[in-house]
A = this chain, B = another copy of it.
Amino acid sequence: MQLTFIIFFIYAYIPLVQNTQQQIELDEISIKPTVGEPWPKPQSIQTTSVRFAVHPAAFHFLTNETSQQCDLLRNAFDRYYKIIFFPQTYMLHLTDPLLADIKIHHLKEALRNVSDLGDVTLLKRLIVNIEQPCEEWPRLESNESYTLVVKEGHALLDAVSVWGALRGLETFSQLIYPDSDLQFAINETTIYDFPRFQHRGFLLDTGTHFISQKTLKINLEAMAQSKMNVFHFHIVDDQSFPYDSITYPELSGKGAFDRNHIYSQADIGELLEFARQRGIRVFIEFDSPAHSRSWGRAYDILTQCYSEKKPNNKLGPMDPSRNTTFEFLKNFFHEVAQIFPDRYVHLGADEVYFDCWESNPSITQFMRQMEFGTNYSLLEQYFMQTLINIVNATGKNYVVWQDIIDNNVTLQTDTVVEVWKEPYPDEMARVTKLGYKTLLSSCWYLNLISYGDDWHKYYKCDPYNFTGTEEQKKLVMGGEACMWGEYVDSTNVISSTWPRAAAPAERLWSSVDTNDVIEAAPRLAEHRCRYLRRGIPAAPVNGPGYCPTEYSG
């Protein structure tokens, strides 16, 4: 090896350049992260240059005497203490809590003592007050507003509900930044904050590729850190059925890729609880009548397609001509209603093509019997209405993709329609005009990757950007970023999603005029660096640059 050489050169004097110029240059060619600015941006924030030190040995989360108390809050205190002071061990708690605790122990030893910080003003307490008794599960209508005041000596966090307190704790943790002198610092700040939309969702598809339980948890954690509150779990699709049904175990037994690609009931329970602790609703989707080939690997509920009057070994959408199909769905959704506590279930209903139905003689006969003529939209409507009745009987509300509306199917007015087609302003106008509540996802298909700072386009899309009456606008519940699974799995889904999904997260939380990518870019850069510091591999999305603490996973 030639590296053992020590090289001495007598070299020409090359003048050193000025530091100021260096700084100008560096700023010119990469976006500089902000320091201690939250993402998404609060509705109202006033901050001063007065700063306080925060130290793990001299800081406590407390509730005041009038506050409601609950496990959700106590667990959050424990979690945010770790996130704030020992972020680099935080995700390790998911997989190896013992090792994480050992690391925290060592990190504590490496910190300077409070007394060594010198003459600094310490922020010693965050005092939390929650007005309403804690709910067990977050709901669409949950109040997430909070007020956060950081002043000399202590900080105050007031919230109507525990969910608002969780959002406020996240903001508080983001106000604290690493500092070479103080170790951890926070500036005097007053925040009043609430979300612009109630439904701030993220769809993940585990039907085309399986995503590990660990990765699902990392994703939920990343969502919480961007204040997203709905995990739209598109759990099954044509390719696989990883949900381990109690009623119909062969759905995963034959429909999953294999035995190692299944979410057991224990896994589902863990995820529900993990999400609940973070104020995230788990909004389950079992897509039908199309996108259901994996269901058909075990149970005979799909339509047999025909070519030249013979079965051609292909299977189409679910078969509405047979009662057994609906008996199956009744039993299955009865289970779903019990397992998943959220009031909403997503029923899919996207991309139903009629060719297979049209080819099948039993369906033809059924169409005649039902007097549908050759209008297969009526068959689709019959299928969906029967399914909706089944789901309504379980006490659930439901959401469907817009396709069923596109097929001229009429549904009850309490239906929520998710818009996924472009141009989204036209689609939003059309669906709300029909009087349906809507969710927007068209402009937030994060799986459709492209080169460059593509978060700009996600950031600019707004659910209210359509022509419609006040009444129509009121029907907009929010939106969802979508990560369909064709080209992602546990190897790349986190870095492909984050921090790109933080762009819709801010659009859905912050005020309508928080929409300038130039202003947002340095904050997003900090938000990404914060993800890295906290052990989440969020990718670089602003072009060249660096984070003080890089990902080491």
Residues of chain A having any CB pair with chain B under 8 Å? 1-3, 5-7, 9, 11-17, 19, 21-22, 24-26, 29-30, 208-210, 212, 214, 237-240, 246-248, 250, 254, 257-258, 260-261, 265-266, 268-269, 272-273, 293, 296-301, 313, 315, 323-324, 327-328, 331, 334-335, 338-339, 341, 447-452, 485-492, 495-496, 532, 537-541, 543-546, 548, 550-553
| Cβ B324 vs Cβ A14 within 8 A | yes
> Contacts A24-B313, A447-B451, A488-B540: A17 and B545 contacting too (C-beta < 8 A)?
no
| Cβ B449 vs Cβ A12 within 8 A | no
| Cβ A17 vs Cβ B300 within 8 A | yes
Q: How far is the CB of A252 from chain B (nearest CB, A)?
A: 13
Determine the chain B residues whose CB is within 8 A of the CB of A323 once the complex forms: 12
Task: Return the contact of A209 from the options B9, B17, B545, B548 (Cβ within 8 A).
Answer: B545
Determine the chain B residues whose CB is within 8 A of the CB of A495 once the complex forms: 491-492, 495
| Cβ A14 vs Cβ B301 within 8 A | yes
For the complex of A and B, the 5 pairs showing the least CB-CB separation, nearest first, are A12-B327, A491-B537, A208-B544, A492-B495, A3-B269
Determine the chain B residues whose CB is within 8 A of the CB of A15 once the complex forms: 299-300
Task: Return the contact of A7 from the options B338, B541, B548 (Cβ within 8 A).
Answer: B338
Q: How far is the CB of A31 from chain B (nearest CB, A)?
A: 11
Docked complex Cα distance between A24 and B485 (Å): 22
| Cβ B539 vs Cβ A29 within 8 A | no
Task: Return the contact of A257 from the options B208, B299, B541, B546 (Cβ within 8 A).
Answer: B546
| Cβ A260 vs Cβ B548 within 8 A | yes
Determine the chain B residues whose CB is within 8 A of the CB of A214 once the complex forms: 552
Closest residue on chain B to residue A269 by CB atoms: B3
| Cβ A5 vs Cβ B338 within 8 A | yes
Docked complex Cα distance between A471 and B9 (Å): 43
Q: How far is the CB of A57 from chain B (nearest CB, A)?
A: 26
| Cβ B327 vs Cβ A11 within 8 A | yes
Determine the chain B residues whose CB is within 8 A of the CB of A248 once the complex forms: 11, 14
Docked complex Cα distance between A141 and B223 (Å): 52
| Cβ A1 vs Cβ B273 within 8 A | yes
> Contacts A450-B449, A451-B487: A247 and B7 contacting too (C-beta < 8 A)?
yes
> Contacts A29-B239, A30-B239: A451 and B451 contacting too (C-beta < 8 A)?
no
Docked complex Cα distance between A206 and B488 (Å): 25
Q: How far is the CB of A55 from chain B (nearest CB, A)?
A: 23
Closest residue on chain B to residue A5 by CB atoms: B338
> Contacts A25-B293, A273-B1, A313-B21: A485 and B544 contacting too (C-beta < 8 A)?
yes
| Cβ A339 vs Cβ B9 within 8 A | no
> Contacts A1-B269, A3-B339, A491-B532: A17 and B298 contacting too (C-beta < 8 A)?
yes
Task: Return the contact of A490 from the options B296, B492, B551 (Cβ within 8 A).
Answer: B551
Closest residue on chain B to residue A21 by CB atoms: B313
Determine the chain B residues whose CB is within 8 A of the CB of A266 once the complex forms: 3
Select the residue from A246, A448, A488 with max chain B CB neighbours within 10 A: A246
Determine the chain B residues whose CB is within 8 A of the CB of A334 once the complex forms: 7, 9
Docked complex Cα distance between A247 and B7 (Å): 7
Docked complex Cα distance between A544 and B327 (Å): 30
Closest residue on chain B to residue A496 by CB atoms: B492
Extra contacts, 12 of them, besides A14-B300, A488-B539 (Cβ < 8 A), are A7-B246, A11-B248, A208-B543, A209-B545, A214-B552, A447-B451, A449-B450, A485-B544, A488-B540, A489-B539, A491-B495, A492-B540
Docked complex Cα distance between A550 and B257 (Å): 12
Determine the chain B residues whose CB is within 8 A of the CB of A485 once the complex forms: 544
A-B CB contact pairs (8 Å), 26 listed: A2-B338, A3-B268, A6-B246, A11-B247, A14-B248, A14-B299, A15-B300, A16-B250, A16-B300, A17-B254, A22-B297, A25-B296, A25-B297, A26-B239, A26-B297, A212-B552, A449-B451, A450-B450, A486-B543, A486-B544, A488-B539, A489-B539, A489-B546, A491-B537, A492-B495, A492-B539
Determine the chain B residues whose CB is within 8 A of the CB of A238 once the complex forms: 29, 544
Determine the chain B residues whose CB is within 8 A of the CB of A448 once the complex forms: 451
Determine the chain B residues whose CB is within 8 A of the CB of A246 once the complex forms: 6-7
> Contacts A449-B450, A546-B257: A247 and B9 contacting too (C-beta < 8 A)?
yes
Q: How far is the CB of A38 from chain B (nearest CB, A)?
A: 22
| Cβ A492 vs Cβ B492 within 8 A | yes
Docked complex Cα distance between A486 and B540 (Å): 8
Determine the chain B residues whose CB is within 8 A of the CB of A341 once the complex forms: 2
| Cβ A553 vs Cβ B550 within 8 A | no
Q: How far is the CB of A89 from chain B (nearest CB, A)?
A: 16
